[in-house]
Each structure stands twice: as C-alpha cells, then as structure tokens.
Amino acid sequence: MEINIDILSKSEQLALALRTLYAKNGYSYYRMSRFEELELYTGNRDFLVSPDILTFTDKNGRLMALKPDVTLSIVKSRKDDPDVLDKLCYSESVFRVPKEADSFREISQTGVECIGNVTDDDIADVTLLASRSLDIVSGDNVLVISDLDILNRLITATSENSEVQKMLIRLAGQKNVDAIKKLAQSGEINQEASETLESLLMLTGSNTEVLEKLGGICEKAGCSDLYESFADTFGKVSKKIGENTSKLRIDFSVTGDLKYYNGIVFCGFVKGVHTRLLSGGRYDGLMAKLGKKSKAIGFAVRTDIGRF
C-alpha cells in the first residue's frame, strides 16, 4: 500500500525519507515497546542523554519506564551473535528532558544500529550514512567526528587518577583548555602530556593539514596505531562524500562516557538548528557491560523538527 506523503507531517516525512535511505542500505525495520523495566535504565544512567526517567508501576507491581533511549532496548532484546552482522533501523519516540528544555518531552527519532561482526568498512559505512542522513534534513550541514580511543589514550597519559580522568573528559567536551592548563600548572596532571592533550583539543577542521597534525600528535603520544585506524575511516568517508568534504570536521570535543563508547563517535548539525540533530558512534563498551560479545555502532536523528 502506497503512503500519501502529502498528508504526513514534516516530522513523519523526514522519518519516512530516512527509513527509505536505510532500507536501501540493507537495514531492516525494527519496532519495539514504548516502555521497559526501570532496572535497564537505572543501571546505565551514564549512557543516557538525560538522567531523568519517567516511571510507573504496572499491574504486576513491576517498576517500568517510558523509554528514554532506544539503543539499550535493542541491545537487550537482540540475540548476541558476534559472527553475524545485524543491521536494524527504527522510528521511535523517547521520553526525556532535552538540554534545551526543563521538562519531559516526547522526542521522535529515527536511526540505525549495526550490531555483531562490525568491521572497519562497516564503521566507515555507518559514518557515511550519518552524513547522508543530514543531507536529507538540509544540504547545509556538518558531521563532527572524534575518536575516543585516541582521546582516552592522551587523557590516561595525563593522569592515572580515575576521578581526574573523568574531569578531563568533561573539560574536553567543553573544549576548556584553560582549565586543563591550570590543572597542569598546579601539578595535578602531567605537564608534558597535558600540552599534547591541549593540542588535540585545539585541532579542528577537515583538510589534509589537520589530519597530518593529528598524525603528529598521535605519534608524540605513542598511539600511531589508533591514528591509522581513524585516518582510514575518515579517508573512506571523505572520498565517498567527494567535493563536499567541508561537511566533515575533526573535533575531539565530541566525547562520551568511556564505559560505554569507544573509537569513532560523531554528532551532526544543520544550519538554523541550535542543537545537535544527530548523534552516534561505537558503543562496544555498552555491549560488554550488558554481557554481550558483539561489537556495535549506530546513530539517531531527531525528527521532531517542528520543535526547533
């Protein structure tokens, strides 16, 4: 049965266009319940965009939650088979307090999850698909890419204290180089390693020169192996995007909780929208925390465009 696009809202049209893109790239549509047992989320609050959760008690006395996140539900429900690649897409509502609001909202999002035997080529393909998704929203967009393995290597060299490392991740996300300098000056973190970290955080752009500078930073930090992997992914995506490489930007202020995320992470913006419209990346850490052996990468696009 054909869908009359004219009767759909802008958000529904966007979700349909994205799902069509994902289906063409081999992703199967996946539907799920609007709620899960609360325990799934309370045990993984750091993975959530917002720590606030809408809860209720069902007729059996179980504490339930309206979904604040889709990825956790998919990972929980899928069979763990690290030798098979499972490519799923979805259009779902989540219930959370977004950064631009002070109360719960129902947020529509459409996204993909690539789970199982995830290769370097799959990582590049998913990253490219994220860029193509932004193109559907607006031609004037940028996908900002980082690598948490590189960032983590530099932060670990800066301090062995886990609490200080958490602080540095937060400061990195804020691009607060001045605060990092002060920590080094006070002797709380290694001076030489902090200077390398500062250089990484000040690095931004998409041209060959930026990539070469990143290579020099990684060589100094002893993580050239991680650089080679990142450069390979970035190069593959840049090549497929072609002349519009300005739609990609390297920026290591894109962070996430290291218990859950690793490797390539990214977020997407379009002109005229004040908040990130897309976010995603690798989350092998989440898989391991939930007792899974599979690897995983995915992203979600907010489709409730009428709110912006």
Distance CA 186, CA 167 (A): 15
CB neighbours of 21 closer than 8 A, spacing ≥ 6?
Answer: 129, 132, 133, 136
* Short-list 100, 129, 133, 97, CA closest to 114: 129
3-state secondary structure 116-164: ECCCHHHHHHHHHHHHHHHHHHCCCEEEEEEEHHHHHHHHHHHCCCHHH
Q: State the architecture of 5-307 in CATH terms.
A: 2-Layer Sandwich (3.30)
Mind listing the pLDDT tens digit for each residue in 122-180?
999 999 999 999 999 998 999 999 999 999 999 999 999 999 999 999 999 999 999 99
Distance CA 217, CA 222 (A): 9
Distance CA 276, CA 39 (A): 28
Mind listing the pLDDT tens digit for each residue in 38-54?
888 888 888 887 888 88
Domain boundaries, the chain: 5-307
Distance CA 147, CA 121 (A): 16
Distance CA 210, CA 287 (A): 32
Coil, helix or strand at residue 53: coil
pLDDT lower than 50: segments of the chain: 1-5, 7
pLDDT at 242: 74
Distance CA 294, CA 113 (A): 12
Structure tokens at 34: 């609007």
Distance CA 255, CA 79 (A): 28
pLDDT at 41: 87
